[in-house]
Amino acid sequence: MTTIEQFQPSQQEIDRRYRNTREAMAKADLDALIISGSEYTGFEGAVRYMCGFHILHRYAYVLVPMDGEATAVYPKEATWVGDHTRTFIDKQIKTVSCGEWMADECKNRGHKRVGVYGLNFIMPVRDYRALVDADLDIVDFDEAFDYSRAQKSEEEIASVRHSMDVNKAGVLAVVQAYKAGKTEAELMGVAEQTFASLGTARNTMDMVLVGPDGSLLPQMVFPDANRKVQDSDGLLYGLEVAGLGGHWVEFSRMIAPGGISAETQRLMDAYEEFHAIVKENLKAGSSAHEVHRKCITPFEGKGWRLGHVSGHSIGMTMIEFPRIGEGTEFELPENMVCSMHPHVMTEDRQACLYFQETFRVGKNGGEALSGVPVAYYRGGEASL
């Protein structure tokens, strides 16, 4: 039986995280760093990464000085929300205004140049305003922090592999449960039941692509609780989850009970070639731009358009920098984990393909963590 205790970071792992973070802080000449986390799906992970607390509701912070003890900062109204005993740093503050407390703490410690992870998407405006009113020199640290944690440790890789096992179980559950006449939402519910029973808690982000005659329309939508699926449909449940250790993965495959359209087959063949190129080129030392340019070649010059980058770094936050795309010169380290999922569609936007797969960057190429080939399913298969 897999338990959450198996994925609690060791002291060695905690020390590694803080060492890497402070090295990045030193390069930016920071006095302190504020790590933001929010209940918003996929954005809770940075706080969990730095202090072990899994946000159940609302938001939280970790204040990391360049020297000295870090502090976990929680809103007072959330005192009894979430399991605070899993926080692995000793100093914990519960306060009416997190922003005002952090601003006062920085001023009292003489901090002037303060980085913030979460300025773009996560930090509540009221807390940001409290920092601004304190006349601190605020530095956007989103990319720098993600770069500092891009290389995953062996402990983290074990957590990633566990999450992939959970994700695959959900995808297989949907494939096995498929039956014409069920609703889109009913099938999604099968995946969610599997995920919840395996300990994902709220860490799932689900959507579906649906289309007629063995194809997929490019718009990603919530599953419809009223529309009943047909054997002529194309269905792709995009399932993204974080397992017990909190590391996100992405994995999906298409269901087409009546077979796929000719255009979808062309897309499928190109996607198979894309995965082969990723396995060959997602290697340590390559730049994200270089990998993107090599990997998108199967889709170029064939009358298709790319509706998305090739992929992105993924970890305890669902989407981390760098993106695997044009102009990103970040050099990929070994054991970085990337979700690769170009959104490829026809010019008339009447067919697309969006297979999610999570890869590990290796010395000599990428490892597809699902081990599942590029293929579609007709429903009812015993295994992937």
pLDDT digits (tens, 9 = 90+) for 77-130: 999 999 999 999 999 999 999 999 999 999 999 999 999 999 999 999 999 999
Q: How far is Cα 134 from Cα 63, in angstroms, rounded to an integer?
A: 16
Give pTM, 2 decimals: 0.96
Burial class (CB in 10 A: 0-12, 13-18, 19+), 22: middle
Q: Which residues of the chain have pLDDT under 70?
A: 308
Domain ranges (residues) in the chain: 4-148, 154-377
* Homologous superfamily, domain 4-148: Creatinase/prolidase N-terminal domain (3.40.350.10)
Q: How far apart are the C-alpha atoms of 239 and 121, rounded to whole Å? A: 22
Q: Which CATH number fits domain 154-377: 3.40.50.620, 3.20.20.70, 3.90.230.10, 1.10.10.60?
A: 3.90.230.10
CA distance readout (Å), 240 to 132, 199, 250, 357, 367: 35, 14, 4, 10, 18
Enumerate the β-bridge partners of residue 94: 74
pLDDT of residue 308: 67
pLDDT digits (tens, 9 = 90+) for 236-284: 999 999 999 999 999 999 999 999 999 999 999 999 999 999 999 999 9
Q: How much is the pLDDT for 309?
A: 85
Residues 6+ apart with CB under 8 A from 348: none
pLDDT of residue 137: 97
Q: Cα separation of 98 and 82, whole Å?
A: 17
The answer to whether 21 and 50 have CB atoms below 8 angstroms apart is: yes
Q: Are 116 and 30 in contact (CB under 8 A)?
A: no
